[in-house]
Structure 1
Amino acid sequence: MGETVRTLAYGAWPSPIDAALTAAHDGHPEYVGFVGDEVWWTEPRPAEGGRRTLVRRHADGREEPLLPAPWNVRSRVIEYGGHPWAAVAGEAGPLVVFVNFADQRLYRCEPGGEPRPLTPVSPVGAGLRWAEPLPLPERGEVWCVLEEFTGDGPTDVRRVLAAVPLDGSAARDRGAVRELTDARHRFVTGPKLSPDGRRAAWLAWDHPRMPWDGTELLLAEVTPDGTLRDARAVAGGPGESIAQADWTHDGRLLHASDRTGWWNLYLDGQPVCPREEEFGGALWELGSRWFTPLDSGLIAVVHGRGATALGVLDPETGEVVDAAGPWTEFTPTLAAHGERVVAVGASPRSAYEVVELDARTGRARVVGAEHDDAVDPAYYPEPQIRTFTGPDGRDIHAHIYPPHHPGCVAPDDELPPYVVWAHGGPTGRAPLVLDLEIAYFTSRGIGVAEVNYGGSTGYGRPYRERLREQWGVVDVEDCAAVALALAAEGTADPGRLAVRGGSAGGWTAAASLTTTDVYACGTIKYPILDLAGWGTGETHDFESQYLEGLIGPLAEVPARYAERSPAAHADRLAVPFLLLQGLDDVICPPVQCERFLARLEGRKVPHAYLAFEGEGHGFRKAETMVRALEAELSLYAQVFRLDPSGVPTLELSK
């Protein structure tokens, strides 16, 4: 006989998914690569201070973490980072080059040996940083992106392509680093060498554009002495985003451009498989890969409209054959060796795994970071893909996660509370994958609605451009439209709606609480709250002029910066909220939260402010994630009059 289903109020359902379990499964494998026949990748360790290690999968399937604590394989270039490692196979074993997070130096090591620094520490500003290493043992160098701070300010920085000696001679001598390009462009990606080594291709862009606004594809000749000559733009421009470029096995240049409104592939400038779907994406991290050419002439691709699939594209016919399997979402990391392709995929029933595809047979299998059900999958949420209608009849894409528990239902006369989640970016997208943080709420009887509001990627450039000069308007309207639609159709309790988000999503949450009366409370994580401050020196260089497109040119519309800022409207905030912040955050610094709270002083709005030492932009330590998640649930419990068991009560100031 089956278990008896109990009738309990929403929010009181007992769940095996606690905050510690959620934190232990936070993060996922990234930056896959082949080293000879072996598959390697980086993997998070939340219980070890949130560091990332490098994992090696031997030919026999055995997984081995290569670098013990405290080594942390992570680059801070443009603060969001980039591909932090590379390795080449050799007779004596692999030669590994990686960036260590703590000092941002480039190191080399051989398995079993101690890492040795290849680059110096700079006494200037935030120092020297590196990304997208390309080892060239035949030249005795590793080519990469160099980000060099020239002063103490966050925008006192230059970026070039550089060659670092593999013999360690630059470890104490900045002069031994050979610069391959000048600093005429503010941003560059790592070089891709043609198969014959005679040409190099890379991407570049400049303020005020972001890489999804406009980039250039640059091409240069590589001379015998290893210098780059006659660099010229061959594609792209101010209104065209080139997301990635690479070379085919026979020396043809392949790139992804959104010149038609969708990131599609072009081979030697000619379209390949033109479709109204994306074969590229927003370049938040240097070295993101949505495609990789195979030796056969085929191209492995991560593509889709909204959700992304892993497929193999025949450039001659334009046909794409997708990998069979349970995965419904793939991240922009790919590598190929012969006809083997390795990627990272997930689904609503499985977390991100390292997946290998045989391009000849179409068969795919998990080869690393295999998903393991930490709890009975019956507790996982059962999401719905929905499209809602917003203002002016525009479409709004969302994922709805109703409350779900195998042993509990709510009383017939009760509607569930719902939390609207606003993703970061804002030029990002919420993927439809298993997230135990969502399950933490849905298994207790709290619904979650992830909104891919106007401005999100994955739906073409016009959808992305809806946010141009409309940030704080369109995103707020779209989230509210979804929340109100759920209430109107009887899915959600109109009196128990909340909003939450981190980073740009924190901005949307705060703006929603100060400009609408839709929500009874909200959770604001490491947010942007004051545009004037954030846009004039309080953030890092990469996004320092992002607001020129999201809000408008500061010199022309300064009043708009104040009008849109939640900090300027703290007097309108009338509902309880939770504010979460990392004290080491240089992207959305704590001063934003402090200024916001100062303007709330004396207004007696119930709230809590939790600030975490040693955390930056996005939480990585298990203990931080536990505290933050339990605090968030406690907020909802107090405001929505829920009765979750075993959760510490969050003290709200009055």
Structure 2
Amino acid sequence: MQTLPYGSWPSPVDAALAAAHGRPEFAGFVGDEVWWTACRPAEGGRRTLVRRTADGEEAVLPEPWNVRSRVIEYGGRPWTGTVREGAPLLVFVNFADQRLYSWRPGGEPRPLTPLSPVGDGLRWVDPQLVAGRDEVWCVMEEFTGEGPSDVRRVPAAVPLDGSAAEDRGAVRELLEDRHRFVTGARLSPDGRRAVWLAWDHPRMPWDGTELLIADVTEDGRLGAPRTVAGGPDESIAQVDWAADGSLLYASDRSGWWNLYRDGRPLCAREEEFAGPLWRLGQRWFAPLECGLIAVLHGRGAAALGILDPETGEVVDVPGPWTECEPTLAVHGDRVIAVAAGPDRGHEVVELDTRTGHTRVVGAAHRDAVDPAYYPRPRARTFTGPGGREVHARLYPPHHPEYAAPEGESPPYVVWAHGGPTSRSPLVLDLEIAYFTSRGIGVVEVDYGGSTGYGRAYRNRLREQWGVVDVEDCAAVALALAEEGAADRDRLAIRGGSAGGWTAAASLTRTDVYACGTILYPVLDLTGWATGETHDFESRYLETLVGPVAQVPERYAERSPATHADRLTAPFVLLQGLDDVICRPVQCERFLARLAGRKVPHAYLTFEGEGHGFRRASTTVRALEAELSLYAQVFGLDPAGDLATLELDT
């Protein structure tokens, strides 16, 4: 081992390598074939469709097609497919115009839905081809005015013959718009009933949803719905039918998202069998024809298992994968999942439930560098204020050839995840490896409010956003410093979206961090609550902070934009100019209030980027800017050619 100070270790994990990898999403079957969407960071961050054939993987839909929905802005499942007349038939959402298209190999995509000149138009998500019907069922989001909340959402049926491409009247609404938010309707095996989830402002789907059931009428619409489960304080994350016609759903009525069949628990455990419904069409469980159920479950993780509903036993799938995305699909005895582990990125995995054999069928992980450069992460539980548990993922600096001088403690960056109703998976992330292989530690904190640890842990953030999250991140950072695992004078915080809020709030409310990286953040609660965001989260703050009309002073007191005068630590602020969730105006207001404070900072904006960066060039610029900030503030000497980030004062 050679000796070099932390932060100066040479690494083959450069920013371009970290930016080149995009995870597969929304895997499914088209006949016997496995298909999924794949990210193309070098092609503007678009998503294409990929199919697994006998000859290997085949990407379809060349540029500029981009398979991605904008319903509720976070989208959801954007495609479906089947085999008709011996060939695949695909239906997908195109990001640029948000129209539904049908496509067959060898042909050009054909529009199925019209454009609308009103507001942000017509959008579609979670398409499903219905057996025996020449139409696709999906959720329709229709804007009725120019404002972000001038919108309605209903289950709808779109004809496959293209007759609705220029005629909005040819779209068949399956139900009146009784609720603000709905998921896609699922037909029973006999086609006589349908089930779906619904909720209304100010609830978010992890607060409370209703499970609705309706008969399918003779004209193919949905009759009067009946609520059979759920409510204001019960979150049902997914509903589906078993092959025998029984109703399956994941509810947190016990304090944990567990599975139920016709109202009876199938496997009562203090584990999560579902998660927060951020995107429509997510699937944490999938019933098999044989009666077994493929499930994702765990505490602070989501492992793939097979549940026997008769015994309540779950048998986990062997293999190196410790995390699975909620995109399960089944066909006969086969289960498809998107899975990853601490030493491998996300890949498409197939389980044969008859043999128990598991194999990678798509997006197979390949080590772009020697895995010796990957971090060696581990899960930790720290003690927060009042003795509460705080869960975290620790990624110490690691290099196969270099070590720091004896007695030197490493710099550490606290990563605050977005949501804030989300969590950090313990999987290989080359953006983390970009720092750890250079001698900078990373710790991802699942602060109070995170999912994966039960409803009580999730509810810690109720009316406490900007308090509990800030305290928990600080507790982890200071604990690492007290252990000697981190340098107390070289701590940083970083986060995007809600994590950007936590990073900014931490810099204005504590003196724990020497600097910070703030990505597409919430910075002004009052502005966010009064029209500066999209409809889905427009009243989220009533849970996270409190009703703005009742506690306006709380909104002002907690906002980093209000307390820019407290900020002394250098920072870099990164923002997509097309972001309609956390809009650039928040950053601009924050910087205006910082003017004259002489705090070193940089503000980098990116045209064509929305909420979350997708383009390789953007990710490269952002990572290199972040590393340059740490180098300047921590006194590091990074190896290689790194452009110096110009900091304004």
Corresponding residue number in structure 1 for 2:643: 648
| 1:267 pairs with 2:261 | yes
Q: Which whole-Å CA distance do the structure 2 matches of 1:384 and 1:234 have between them?
A: 42
Q: CA deviation at 1:400?
A: 0.8
Does residue 1:350 correspond to 2:344, yes or no? yes
Structure 2 residue corresponding to 1:6, chosen from 2, 11, 15: 2
- Which residue in 2 is equivalent to 1:111? 105
- Counterpart residue number, 2:51: 56
SS in structure 1 at match of 2:328: strand
Match for residue 418 of structure 2? 424
Structure 1, residues 386-439: CA drift from partner, whole Å, max 9, x if none? 000000100000011110000000000211000000000000000000000000
State the distance in 1 between where 2:642 and 2:426 align.
Answer: 27
Q: Distance in 1 between matches of 2:178 and 2:296?
A: 32
Residue number among 135, 149, 159 corresponding to 2:153 in the alignment: 159
Would you say 1:190 and 2:184 are equivalent positions?
Answer: yes
* Paired residue secondary structure (1:506): helix
- Contact 1:61–1:367 (CA under 8 A) maintained in structure 2: no
Q: Which residue of 1 aligns with 2:211?
A: 217
1:396 equivalent to 2:396? Answer no
Instruction: Tell me which residue corresponds to 1:46.
Output: 41
Give the aligned partner of residue 415 of structure 1.
409
| Aligned twin of 2:304 | 310
User: SS in structure 2 opposite 1:265?
Assistant: strand
| Partner residue, 2:11 | 15
1:478 maps to 472
Once the two structures are TM-superposed, the CA of residue 137 in structure 1 deviates from its matched residue by 5.9
From 613, 617, 634, the equivalent of 1:623 is: 617
Kindly provide the CA deviation profile for residues 1-46 of structure 1, in whole angstroms up to 9, marking residues without a partner as x.
Answer: xxxx210010100000000000001x31110111111111101000
- Following superposition, the deviation at residue 230 of structure 1 comes to 2.2
**Superposition pairs for residues 569-648 of structure 1, below 5 Å?**
569-645=563-639, 646-648=641-643
CA distance in 1, matches of 2:620, 2:169: 46
Q: Within 5 A, what are the aligned runs for 1:126-525?
A: 126-136=120-130, 138-525=132-519
Select between 500-509 and 163-172 the one with higher mean Cα deviation.
Answer: 163-172
Structure 1: distance between partners of 2:337 and 2:103: 25
Higher mean Cα deviation, 548-557 or 84-93? 84-93
CA contact (8 A) 1:134 1:142 kept: yes
Task: Tell me whether 1:526 sits opposite 2:529 in the alignment.
Answer: no
Question: Residue type matched to 1:448 in 2?
Answer: V
Alignment of 1:85-124 (within 5 A): 85-124=79-118
In the TM superposition, what is the alpha-carbon distance from 1:79 to its structure 2 partner?
0.3
Q: How many residues align?
A: 648
- Bigger mean CA offset, 248-257 vs 85-94: 85-94
Which secondary structure state, in structure 2, belongs to the residue aligned with residue 625 of structure 1? helix
In the aligned structure 2, how far is the partner of 1:635 from the partner of 1:467? 30
The residue identity in structure 1 corresponding to 2:512 is: V
**d(CA) in 1 for partners of 2:218, 2:133:** 10
**What's the offset of the Cα at 1:362?**
2.0
> Any idea what SS the aligned residue of 1:562 has?
helix
Q: Helix, strand or coil for the counterpart of 2:23?
A: coil
Q: Quote the Cα distance in structure 2 between the aligned partners of 1:176 and 1:514.
A: 54
Distance 2:86 2:273 in 1: 38
For the 8 Å contact 1:199–1:219, the answer to whether it is kept is: yes
Indicate yes or no: 2:31 matched with 1:36: yes
Rounded Cα–Cα distance in structure 1 between residues aligned with 2:185 and 2:95:
22
Whole-angstrom CA distance in 1 between matches of 2:435 and 2:543: 35
Take 2:644 and 2:84, find their aligned partners in 1: how far apart are those partners?
A: 57
Tell me, in whole angstroms, the C-alpha distance in 2 between the residues paired with 1:445 and 1:172: 58
CA distance in 1, matches of 2:100, 2:134: 15
- CA shift, 1:225, in A, is 2.2
Query: RMSD over aligned Cα, in angstroms?
Result: 0.7
Q: Quick check: 1:576–1:605 contact (8 Å CA) kept in 2? A: yes
State the Cα deviation string for residues 251-271 of structure 1 (Å, max 9, x = none).
111000000000000001111
Determine the C-alpha separation between the residues in 1 that align with 2:55 and 2:511: 55
Q: Structure 2: how far apart are the matches of 1:361 and 1:276?
A: 29
Distance 2:354 2:268 in 1: 23
Q: Distance in 1 between matches of 2:103 and 2:381?
A: 50
**Deviation sequence 1:597-642 (CA, Å, 0-9, x none):** 0000011000000000000000000000000000000000000000
Q: Secondary structure at the match of 1:202?
A: strand
**Partner-residue secondary structure (3-state), 1:566:** coil
1:361 & 1:169 partners in 2: Cα distance?
Answer: 46
Report % sequence identity. 77
**Unaligned residue ranges in structure 2 (runs of 5+):** none
AA in 1 matched with 2:398: H
Q: Is the 8 A contact 1:292 1:336 kept in 2?
A: yes
Aligned mates of 2:177, 2:637 — CA distance in 1: 58
* Deviation, structure 1 residue 359: 1.3
What TM-score does the superposition give when structure 2 sets the normalisation length?
0.99
What amino acid maps onto 1:615 in structure 2?
E
Alignment match, 1:24:
20
Distance 1:436 1:62 in 2: 26
| Aligned AA (1:326) | P
For 1:23, give the aligned amino acid: A
What SS is found at the alignment partner of 1:585?
coil
Residue 365 of structure 1: CA displacement?
1.0
- SS of aligned partner of 1:33: strand
- 1:542 corresponds, among 512, 529, 536, to 536
The 2-side partners of 1:136 and 1:221 are apart by 15
> Residues 158 and 587 of structure 1: is their aligned pair in 2 closer, same or farther, counting only changes over 3 Å?
same
Unaligned runs of 5+ in 1: none
Is 1:554 aligned to 2:581, yes or no?
no
Greater displacement, 219-228 / 447-456? 219-228
Greater displacement, 370-379 / 90-99: 90-99
Residue 61 of structure 1: CA displacement? 5.0
Q: How far did 1:364 drift?
A: 1.1
Task: Kindly provide the CA deviation profile for residues 280-332 of structure 1, in whole angstroms up to 9, marking residues without a partner as x.
Answer: 10000000000000000000001111111100000000000000000011111
What whole-Å deviation, never above 9, does each CA across 1:205-236 have from its counterpart, x for those lacking one? 00000000000011000123211112111100
Structure-1 separation of matches of 2:276 and 2:36: 21
Equivalent residue of 1:567, what SS? coil
Whether the 8 Å CA contact 1:137–1:166 is kept in 2: the answer is no
Taking structure 1 as the reference length, what is the TM-score of the superposition? Answer: 0.99
Q: Please report how far the alpha carbon of residue 384 of structure 1 lies from its aligned counterpart in structure 2 after TM superposition.
A: 1.7
CA distance in 1, matches of 2:586, 2:565: 16
- For residues 537-586 of structure 1, give each alpha carbon's deviation from its aligned partner in whole angstroms, at most 9, with x where no partner exists: 00000000000000001111111000110000000000100000000000
Which residue among 70, 74, 81 is the counterpart of 1:76? 70
SS of the residue corresponding to residue 591 of structure 2 reads helix
